Structure 1
Amino acid sequence: MLRLFLCVIALLCQAVYADVQNLTQQIHLKYPQLHLTQIANTPIQHLYSAQLDGQVVYLDESAEYLFTGAILRLKDQKNITQALSQKSSSLWSMLPLQDAIQIVKGTGQHQIAVFSDPNCPYCQQFERELSRLNNVTVYLFMYPLRTQSVKLTKQVWCSPNASYTWQKLMQQGIYPTATTHCEQPIERNLALGHRLGFDGTPTIIFANGEKNIGLLSATQIQDFWQQHGL
């Protein structure tokens, strides 16, 4: 009886592994440019999880549909997506912080990264919210999605004091006059943001790897820090 039980368990494990392996092969065959990693089973039958640029996504077994969002288990209100996110590497660790303008206020205890376009009205509003935060380190990735912002961001980076120049530009509308002839990361920032799927600004990444695309208030950011112990 015990031998039969062990055989059944072994067969089930092989079947699960075969399903994941088959799905992985299908993805690579159908969508070779889609860089999915960590494909695995979920507690939901015929539903699989994966990592796409630091974010948890879900796939059906036919490899035809991919979707994102939180999955809650009703009986205990457990956030399955959050649990999977905690097991994966943090989006924060993927950020090349040396390509960002570093702005420190107070102790700099709290950390956030922001992808921002100087000609984005919501980014300008967000700068006002950032000014209301204390004890924060902001890693500002200039991310010129608008064509007219490319030269401007390069001028900011090439200024003698990039953080001061950026804040003057965003808060007072004072444009930089520096040349664009210096080593700068703007093209790398654009490539990184596109690779991570950042299709809007401001995009905010917290130190625990969670992200938000769109405007947040200073109060919302502070509440997030408190809720997650950041």
Structure 2
Amino acid sequence: MSKLSAILLTAMMTTSAGWSVAAHAESRGKDSAAPGPENLIESQLKKLDATIPIESITKSPMPGVYKVMLKGGFVLYSSENGQYVIKGDMLEIRGNQLVNLTEAMKSQQNAKLLESLKKEDMVIFSPKGETKGVVYAFTDVDCGYCRKLHREVDRLNELGIELRYLAFPRGGKQSPVHGKMTEAWCSVDRKQALTDLKTGNPIGVEIRGDKAACSSVIDHHHKLGIQMGINGTPAMVLENGQVIPGYRPADDIARIIESQS
């Protein structure tokens, strides 16, 4: 593999090995006499890595530049002939503001992924009164800052924020944390089970669910997080798909949600 390939692919797709290229060629017309820009770009990228996980290739807002969406929320920009590739964010000047188009696009993708989730597959802490905002949190029960965030649950609820936990055992399926979180999701009281684990205690409520089904939910959340570019915990995602990496106090989260509305 060339140095360019290593720069583009190793940095962006360490979690995407084995993904197949999405079948998006049909929409571009397989039988056209001359290859269009999309075909040229795909061909050039596949010279670097035949398994590059392309989801779509479309025109970007910048004339002569195409947007290449990859699995995992990664984005590349390419010239029409695929010879020149840019790894980075595209920014647009709107009046006196600078808008990050790449981040906005990633957020839109994330929001669609969140919509596919079932509420019954999450551990949800809801306000007693009006819900003013929702935060999805990818969590690991042994993560120190995840535990710190959990101590903010009451304050989040006081501020009208609903916290929806998604499982993200950082060590993957074979880690002890995966087993702990599977048991929490199989508990008769998931909220208490998760609280027990996050305070360093064994689960103190009955575990009687289908462990295979609970394990499948943990795996689904973990894969979803990777698809959204999550690589650490806690990682919070707003309903609009904006990712807030790392720990943030409840009041900071409330201010961010308020600014979005």
Q: Is 2:164 the partner of 1:139?
A: yes
Counterpart position of 1:203? 235
Q: In 1, distance between residues paired with 2:189 and 2:85?
A: 47
**Unpaired segments ≥5 residues, structure 2:** 1-34
8 A Cα contact 1:126 1:215, kept in partner: yes
Counterpart position of 2:200? 173
How large is the Cα RMSD of the aligned pairs?
3.1
For 1:59-78, list aligned pairs within 5 A.
59-61=77-79, 62=82, 65=85, 67-69=87-89, 71-73=91-93, 76-78=96-98
8 A Cα contact 2:135 2:239, kept in partner: yes
**Unpaired segments ≥5 residues, structure 1:** 1-16
Q: In 1, distance between residues paired with 2:143 and 2:162?
A: 22
Deviates more, 1:17-26 or 1:207-216: 17-26
1:166 CA displacement: 1.1
1:40 CA displacement: 2.9
2:145 to 112, 122, 141: 122
Percent identity between matched residues is: 18
Counterpart position of 1:101? 123
Amino acid at match of 2:223: A
Amino acid at match of 1:228: Q
Q: In 2, distance between residues paired with 1:215 and 1:68?
A: 25
2:187 to 146, 152, 159: 159
1:75 CA displacement: 6.5
Amino acid at match of 2:197: L
Quickly say closer, same or farther: Cα 1:214–1:20, change in 2 above 3 A. same
Q: In 1, distance between residues paired with 2:66 and 2:152?
A: 38
Q: In 2, distance between residues paired with 1:68 and 1:166?
A: 38
Give the aligned length.
211
TM-score normalised by structure 1 residue count: 0.75
8 A Cα contact 2:125 2:163, kept in partner: yes
Amino acid at match of 1:71: L
8 A Cα contact 2:126 2:162, kept in partner: yes
8 A Cα contact 2:67 2:77, kept in partner: yes
1:112 CA displacement: 1.2
Partner SS state of residue 233, structure 2: coil
Q: In 2, distance between residues paired with 1:82 and 1:132?
A: 33
